Amino acid sequence: MNVNYGIIGFLVGIACALGGWWFGRKKAREVRGLDERYVERARDARANSWIVTTVYIYAMFFLYIAGVSFSSAQLLGILLFIHVGSWGILTIYVNVRDTIDWEEQRKNRNQKLAFFISIFVLTAVPSIFLCISFLTDDWRYVLYSLPGSFLAGVIGLLAVRAQIKKEN
């Protein structure tokens, strides 16, 4: 029974990812968003997400050496989650970074601080809880941390963006 739910979840996840990718590209094409800047930002985010994934591979290897055992499915699922999640977060980061004129915003350093705190909440807090989950072998820690950190991080990014738009 659990295997059936796993297969269904896997197929639904792939369908949602492909649908989101197709819909996003369709909307971007409508507003001429698929230009050379988009290609450069996507390349930058993808390259940096591989760096994050490599760091997590080393962390997983260290935990394995320290005696924490993983099944293949757990390890691959975690690495896929880390890679796709970091790719998405870094895509948001690169797009915000490239659309904000930081030189003009130097007078208001609070926005920059709020921006980096939001990125920290989106990335570091789930990472800390992931390590706690490995050490305690209780995955609820990471599952319960994801909605709160995602909500707080995205709200912080949206608030910074709205403040910057209001000033311009």
Task: Give the residue, 51 or 147, on which the prediction is more confident.
Answer: 51
Task: Take residue 136 and report the two structure tokens written for it.
Answer: 């305690």
Q: Which of 92-96, 97-101, 157-161 has the lowest mean pLDDT?
A: 97-101
32-69 residues labelled b (16+ CB within 10 A) or e (exposed): eeeeeeeeebeebbeebbeebbeebeebbeebeeeeee
Q: How confident is the model at residue 117 (pLDDT cuts 50, 70, 90)?
A: confident
Half-sphere exposure of residue 4, counting CA atoms within 13 Å on the CB side? 1
- What is the predicted pLDDT for the residue at 108? 63
Structure tokens belonging to residue 12: 């639904």
**Tokens matching residue 122:** 């989106």
Give how far Cα 124 sits from Cα of 7, 11, 54, 88, Å: 30, 29, 16, 15
pLDDT of residue 141: 79
What would the mean pLDDT of 94-123 be, rounded to a whole number?
73
Distance between first and last Cα of the chain: 55
Q: Is the dihedral of CA 120, 121, 123, 125 positive or negative?
A: positive
pLDDT for 75 beyond 80:
yes
* Helix axes 72-99 and 140-167, enclosed angle (nearest 10): 10
Distance of alpha carbon 144 from alpha carbon 139, whole angstroms = 9
Residue 114 CB partners (closer than 8 Å, separation 6+): 156, 159, 160
Q: Measured between alpha carbons, how far is 52 from 71 in angstroms, rounded to an integer?
A: 21
